[in-house]
Amino acid sequence: MSHHAPEDGQPPTMTEGAAETTEATAETAESTQPDIHPAADDPHALLSVNRVQKHFPIKQGILFQKQVGAVKAVDGVSFSVRAGETLGLVGESGCGKSTTGRVVTRLLEPTGGSITFEGREISQLNRDQMRPLRRDIQMAQQFAGIADVRPRDAKQQMFRADIMMP
């Protein structure tokens, strides 16, 4: 899911990449894309996420495991968040909301793309380098149980995973 808040007072624009399974290719390993998506191109952003990807390998074999494909859990997500803003990711179960949050907070390693926080590229930082940033970049999840959703109120229900900034 991509988010871009234009300065002209218009509502944010969103784009969404779906989770899918594909065959492994050489391009999967080299997935970092140098160009900046418009949703991540905000010079005033506290956090910019540009074409972030998280692919989980599908392996075959017991002794000699070979990658035969990949599940594209997150594929090309871009957004930016300014100081004081909160971003909510909304979507169906299994669409990559939590995985996006885990990649942005660096609980999972991104397969590709870039994550910039306070002007610093953080997508390649190791665990020790990320530790001081953990209190500043957090993910909060809010779930609505199926019992909370009544068919006549379904349009009013919101399921979200928030990436929160202090």
3-state secondary structure 16-65: CCCCEEEECCHHHHCCCCCCCCHHHCCCCEEEEEEEEEEEEEEEECCCCC
The pLDDT tens digits of the residues spanning 22-75 come to 333 333 334 444 588 888 889 999 999 999 999 999 999 888 999 999 999 999
The pLDDT tens digits of the residues spanning 113-139 come to 999 999 999 999 998 999 999 888 888
Domain that residue 50 falls in: 2-164
CA distance 152 to 11: 27
Residue 140, CA distances (Å) to 77, 88, 89, 137, 164 in order: 19, 10, 11, 10, 7
pLDDT of residue 159: 39
CA distance 113 to 48: 11
Output DSSP code: residue 86. Answer: -
How many other CB atoms are there within 10 angstroms of residue 85's CB atom? 16
State yes or no: pLDDT of 2 exceeds 90: no
Residue 154 CB burial class (10 angstroms; 0-12, 13-18, ≥19): exposed
Number of domains in the chain: 1
Looking at the DSSP assignment, which residues form a beta bridge with residue 27? Answer: none
pLDDT confidence tier of residue 106, bands split at 50, 70 and 90: very high
pLDDT confidence tier of residue 145, bands split at 50, 70 and 90: low
